C-alpha cells in the first residue's frame, strides 16, 4: 500500500540527498526488516517501514488546497491506447465495441488524453515548504513522520495487545458487533494519539532552520 509521510530536514539545497539519508534506516530488507539495521534499534523497534518512496507522488500538492495535480496540464498526456483519438481501434477495442457500441476507450473515457501516473507528476513547489509555515491540521496528519533518523509510524500503534484484529469462526452477529465497536474505539484513540505525537514533534522542530517534505511511500 501507499502511505503519506512528512520528512523534517535541515534547510539545504541537497534535498534529495537529505531525504535519502533520513529514510535509509527504515528501508525494508528481507522479511520486512530494515535493510541496514536488520532488526531495528531503539529508534526503529518494529522493522522496516518502506520499500519505495518518492517526494510528492500520490500526495503531490497535498498541502495546497488550491492545487489539483490531476488537472495540471503538465500532468496530462495523450492516451496511448487510442493514440489520442478517443476511440480504441485495436482488436480489444473492436471486440468490446461489438458487444457494447457505446464503448470508446478505457484509457481515457473517450477524451483522447489522460492523467499521467502519479510517479510521473511534475514536481510541485508546495511539497517542500519551510517547517514554520505549516499550520496544524489534524485531518492532514501523515501516516509516518521521519525526523533525525527516527520516526513516528501509525502502524506501530496497532501492536496494541487490546486490538481485536480477527473474529473467530463461530462468532455470532452480536459478538461481531461488540468487536467492531471495540475496534472503532481503539482506532479513534490511536488516531488521536498518533496525531498528537506527530504534531507535537513537528512543533519541537518548528523554526526557520528546517523544511518539511511531503513523501509518498510504499510498504
pLDDT of residue 31: 60
**Rg (alpha carbons) of the chain, rounded to whole number:** 22
Model pLDDT for residues 75-90, shown as the tens digit of each residue:
999 999 999 999 999 9
Q: How confident is the model at residue 36 (pLDDT cuts 50, 70, 90)?
A: very low
**65: burial class by Cβ within 10 Å (0-12, 13-18, 19+)?**
exposed
Q: Lowest-confidence range among 64-68, 79-83, 125-129, 173-177? A: 173-177
Cell match 519551510: residue? 130
Average pLDDT estimate for 25-50: 62
Q: How confident is the model at residue 201 (pLDDT cuts 50, 70, 90)?
A: very high
pLDDT of residue 39: 43
Average pLDDT estimate for 11-20: 93
Backbone angles phi, psi at 53, to 5 degrees: -150, 165
pLDDT of residue 213: 98
pTM of the model: 0.82
The three-state (H, E, C) secondary structure of 160-192, written as one string: CCCCCCCCCCCCCHHHHHHHHHHHHHHHHHHHH
**210: burial class by Cβ within 10 Å (0-12, 13-18, 19+)?**
middle
- Cβ(213)–Cβ(22) below 8 Å: no
Q: Mapping DSSP to helix (H, G, I), strand (E, B) and coil, where does residue 8 land?
A: strand
pLDDT of residue 182: 81
Amino acid at each position: 500500500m501507499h502511505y503519506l509521510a512528512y520528512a523534517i530536514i535541515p534547510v539545504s539545497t541537497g534535498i534529495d540527498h537529505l531525504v535519502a539519508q533520513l529514510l535509509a534506516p527504515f528501508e525494508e530488507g528481507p522479511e520486512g526488516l530494515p535493510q541496514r539495521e536488520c532488526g531495528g534499534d531503539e529508534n526503529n523497534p518494529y522493522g522496516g517501514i518502506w520499500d519505495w518512496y518518492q517526494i510528492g507522488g500520490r500526495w503531490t500538492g497535498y498541502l495546497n488546497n488550491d492545487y489539483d495535480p490531476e488537472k495540471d496540464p503538465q500532468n496530462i498526456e495523450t492516451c496511448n491506447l487510442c493514440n489520442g483519438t478517443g476511440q480504441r481501434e485495436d482488436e480489444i477495442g473492436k471486440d468490446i465495441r461489438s458487444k457494447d457500441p457505446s464503448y470508446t476507450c478505457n484509457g481515457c473515457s473517450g477524451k483522447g488524453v489522460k492523467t499521467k501516473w502519479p510517479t510521473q507528476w511534475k514536481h510541485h513547489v508546495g511539497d517542500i515548504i519551510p517547517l514554520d509555515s505549516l499550520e496544524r491540521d489534524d485531518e492532514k496528519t501523515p501516516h509516518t513522520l521521519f525526523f533525525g533518523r527516527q520516526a513516528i509510524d501509525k502502524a506501530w500503534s496497532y501492536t496494541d495487545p487490546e486490538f481485536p484484529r480477527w473474529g473467530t469462526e463461530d462468532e455470532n452477529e452480536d459478538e461481531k458487533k461488540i468487536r467492531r465497536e471495540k475496534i472503532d474505539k481503539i482506532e479513534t484513540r490511536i488516531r488521536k494519539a498518533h496525531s498528537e505525537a506527530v504534531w507535537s514533534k513537528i512543533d519541537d522542530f518548528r523554526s526557520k532552520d528546517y523544511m518539511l517534505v511531503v513523501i509518498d511511500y510504499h510498504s
